Structures are given as structure tokens and as C-alpha cells.
Chains A and B, each alone.
Chain A
Amino acid sequence: MTTQHAISVEKLNVSFGDSHVVKDLSFAVAPGESYGIVGESGSGKSTVLRVLAGLNRDWSGEVDILGKRQPKLRDKAFYRAAQMVFQDPYGSLHPKKTVDDTLAEPLAIHGVRDAEAKISRAMQDVGLPTSFRFRYPHQLSGGQRQRVAIARALVLEPTILLLDEPTSALDVSIQAEVLNLLQALRHERKLTYILVSHDLAVVGHMCERLLVMQFGRGVEEMTAATLAARAPQTAYAQQLLTASEGFRRAG
């Protein structure tokens, strides 16, 4: 049964010292699906993503990715299959490494040959001109940096992308470009996405299904259609949806 899912999580629990930040969380994502996780700060949504990416080793429960039960410490093969894009492109790129260095590193780690062509192709895929290849991050705009971060994730040709608020540090016009890019790449390469965001409109646009989290628990799983119809079952999901519609003056 687990083999049908690209990602399946059963009774995931994460604690940092005394605080229990993810509680009995279970969900499954089909291959090629785009799955959203939304919630407010402290809801545990990013923690879940970090567990999936193997960046957090203090958890219990069962995590299956591409039909394989995942140990706490992941092997190299895992990182070829699943890559992560972080929130802040100002913090997630090494300031003293050129775009070329950044993209060459994962290839060197995995001993991939033909790095030259792979780097050019990755840059092309994310719409960066080849003239940017030897630029440093400070010579790039926010949107261009996030493209580099996406290119770094894609250069190993993974099947799963874990996206942690990939556009929340960007202006809305740049956000549109990055979201379009992510959509196009997903259709082209049949990628599976997990997108963590606090922005319901972004998740509604990008995902087929989503999970609303609060205080470390999954409150409600719904389809994008339910979200668009403003018809969640739980009070908290409804409250979140209303709050995201903007300010309403009483009376």
C-alpha cells in the first residue's frame, strides 16, 4: 500500500526538549501530486518538512519516501531523489560562492559526470541567462537568487521537491514568476511537491490538496476546490481563511 505513495507519513512526532511540536501527524502524497501544508508560525509546518528532508533527526513515527522506509540518517541516494528549497534566498546561498560553484557542489558530491552540461541545462530550466554563471549572490536580485536555489535543487534531477515558503521573501510580481516556473517544471518533469506556506492563495494556486496545521496537529485535510469554495469543515480552518481575506471594519 505504501508503494503507491511518493511520500507517506504515519504518526510522526517531533519534540524539542519539553515542547512537543508535531503530534501524531499522518498524511500521504501521491506521485506527481502537489501537496500544501499551511498554518501559522509555530504550527510545526516547517518542522515536518525538515524531517522529510532529513535535516531533523529527533523524530519518531514512520516516514516512507518513494516506497522506502526512511531511517533518521539518510543515504546519498535519498538526496538525489528529494531536494529542498528554502524560504530566504538571501540566507540560503553561500555569499562567497558563484552560481557556478553553488550548482557544481551537489554534482561533485554525487559524482555526477558531465557537470558542465548539467549546470547549463539547470540554469536554462530556471530561466537564468548563462552570463550569470560566474556571478555572486550579491550581484543577483531576490527573484534571481531564488531561481539559483531552485536550480541547485533541480540539478540532481530529483523527483520530489520540498518547498519551504519559496516565495514569501519576494515581491508579488517576482512571486508570480517563481510560482509559474515551479508549475511549469512540475508538469514537465512530473515532480512531486510539498509546499509549506502561510499564504492560502498561493497554496490554492499551486496544490491539489492541502493540510491545515495548528499547534503541531493536522487540523483538516482538504482539496483545493474545498478551499476555493470556502467550505472547510473545522472552525480553525474557517478562521484562517476569513483572516486571509483582509481587514473587515465592523459596523
Chain B
Amino acid sequence: MTATSDAPLLTLDDLRVDFHTPTGIVNAVRGLSFTLGRERLGIVGESGSGKSMTGRAILDLIPHPGVVSARRMEFRGKDLTAMDKASRRKLRGRHISMVMQDPKFSLNPVQTVGDQIAEAYRVHHKASAREAKERSLAMLEAVQIREPGRVYDLYPHEVSGGMGQRVMIAMMLIAEPEILIADEPTSALDVTVQLQVLKILDDLVTSRGMGLIFISHDLHLVRSFCDRVIVMYGGKALETLPAGALDKAQHPYTRGLLGCLPDLDHPREKLATLTRDPAWLA
């Protein structure tokens, strides 16, 4: 919890995501509870841990055979479970938004990046085309794109991965949402570019007082970037702890995950491997 958070932006209690398949029910998320304030909350886990499904459930983006249920799911005191699809859609992008992993697949390939940002603005705000363009150019500048005027007219295939991800962040932040969900926002990027993108994300989130949910598989990154970390495994939160205290994690899974990373400072002949205990999912 950070000092700046008064009332939580988001409250989740017993969130469940179930996929009803012909061969049975797959429980992607099983009873996850957390609150989000104006802070950087990390969700880490391996593939299949339900971390991305959690982000999608908050946005009402779970695809067809999936069913979301929760005892409580509130955004600033408003009950999300009682809302219809149309109201959820109004929230999406305007108040809660999401940055996806790969700019190559998430941007529209046949529209210039500038028009896509302007469109994102006009969907949520009454504005003339000119005003939307001006705002988009300002936003491109805010994500530290050097020549916004030139980049505005480029198509997604003409920009680099790092630039594409900045365009995505610009598009998601232009409506000024209160919550940003970033699902592996830098995994497709090189390390040096990754740090630039994180810096931009960090500055914008801090200066606008947003709540950030940062979904990642990279423990090192989450440890250095977030305030608080939820460790997920098999759809459950095994442990929630301050990012700085990740080294002192209690749960054997968290300790196992940290232990199996190769470390330049502590070279070992053999890396530790993880023994999974079925009791973790009980």
C-alpha cells in the first residue's frame, strides 16, 4: 500500500474465471482477491498461472466459453458484476485501459499510428478532428517520440518495436484512464529499449496518479519496478508482498522461482529446479 492511496481504485474479492469446454471445466483463475490503489502492482507467474486472464476479466475481455464470477468486483465503488456489457464497454479504454504485449499484433496495420491514437481519444471525448490530432501529437511527445509530426503519419510496419510500444502506451493513456493494466508490455523488446519504455510508463503513472497493474513473468523486472507483487500459480495468489521484500519471500514457490534463475553474482554448477506441490492448489 502506498501512502497516496485513500479509497481503493479497484477491489476484487474471490474472482473466478472458468472455461466450460466439452471435456470439462478449466479453472483459469480460482478465487483471487486484491485491492489496487494509486500504486504499481505487479502480478507475476509462469505461463498458465492466470495472470493475463485476471487482467482480461477486469476489462470484461474474456472470450466466449469463459465465465467470470466474483463475490465483489468494484471500480471506485461501482459494482462491475452488476453492469451490463454496454456500461462495461464505456469503462474500457476511458477509465480502465490495457497495454498489450506485442505492438506488431495489437496495432491496426492499415491505419497510421497517429490516426489510431486520435481515434482512441475521439471515442471517449467529444472533440473535433483537429483537437484530437493536437492531443495525439502532444501525447506522442509525452511518450518521448522525437518527431511526433513525422511519426504521426507512419504505419505500424514503419516503426520499430520500441516505438510501436510507445505508440500503444500513448493510445491507452490519451483518454486519461484511472487504471492501466500492462500485460507484459516490454517482453517483446530489447533490454535497453525495455528500460526506456518502463521509464515513460513510470513517469506517466506517477505524474497522473494512476493505478498500474503490471503483469509479467520477469521476477527481476517486477522486483525493480513495482511497489507490491502478487505471485500467482495455477490461478491462485500464493503470496502478496512488497516488491523490495521479494528476496525474503516465504512461499516455497516464490523461493523456487527466484532460486532457479541463473545469477551472475552467485554462480552455481547446477541450477535449482522447482518441485511443485499439489497442496498449493488445494
Contact = CB atoms under 8 A, between A and B. Distances in A.
A176 B261 CA distance: 7
Q: Give the interface SS of chain A, mostly helix, strand, loop or mixed.
A: helix
B22 interface: no
Contacts of B202: 247, 249
Contact of A247 (B198, B257, B264): B198
17 contacts: A40-B190, A40-B192, A171-B46, A171-B47, A172-B217, A172-B260, A176-B274, A177-B273, A201-B263, A201-B264, A205-B263, A224-B267, A228-B264, A239-B192, A244-B191, A246-B225, A247-B225
Interface string A189-219: 0000000001011101110000000000000
Given A204-B262, A228-B265, A173 B191 contact: no
B52 to A, nearest CB: 14
A228 B270 CA distance: 17
Nearest to B45: A171
Interface of A: 40-41, 142, 171-173, 175-177, 179-180, 183, 198, 200-202, 204-206, 224, 227-228, 230, 239-240, 243-249
A205 B267 contact: yes
A204 B47 CA distance: 25
A210 to B, nearest CB: 12
Nearest to B201: A247
Contacts of B224: 245-248
A121 B270 CA distance: 23
A180 B190 contact: no
B271 interface: yes
B88 interface: no
Interface of B: 46-47, 161, 190-195, 198-199, 202, 217, 219-221, 223-225, 256-257, 260-265, 267-274
Contacts, number: 85
A245 B265 CA distance: 11
Contact of B264 (A177, A200, A239): A200
A53 B47 CA distance: 31
The 10 closest A-B pairs by CB, nearest first: A246-B224, A205-B262, A176-B260, A40-B190, A173-B274, A171-B46, A176-B271, A243-B191, A247-B224, A201-B262
Contacts of A244: 191
A239 B196 CA distance: 13
Given A40-B193, A180-B273, 6 more contacts: A173-B257, A176-B261, A201-B262, A247-B198, A247-B202, A248-B224
A40 B267 CA distance: 23
A175 to B, nearest CB: 7
- Count chain B CB atoms within 10 A of each CB in A172, A177, A230, A239 and give the residue with the most: A172
Given A200-B264, A248-B224, A173 B190 contact: no
B235 to A, nearest CB: 15
B266 to A, nearest CB: 9
A202 B262 contact: yes
A239 B42 CA distance: 26
Contacts of A41: 161, 190
Contact of B272 (A176, A227, A228, A240): A176
A230 B134 CA distance: 45
Contacts of A247: 195, 198-199, 202, 221, 224-225
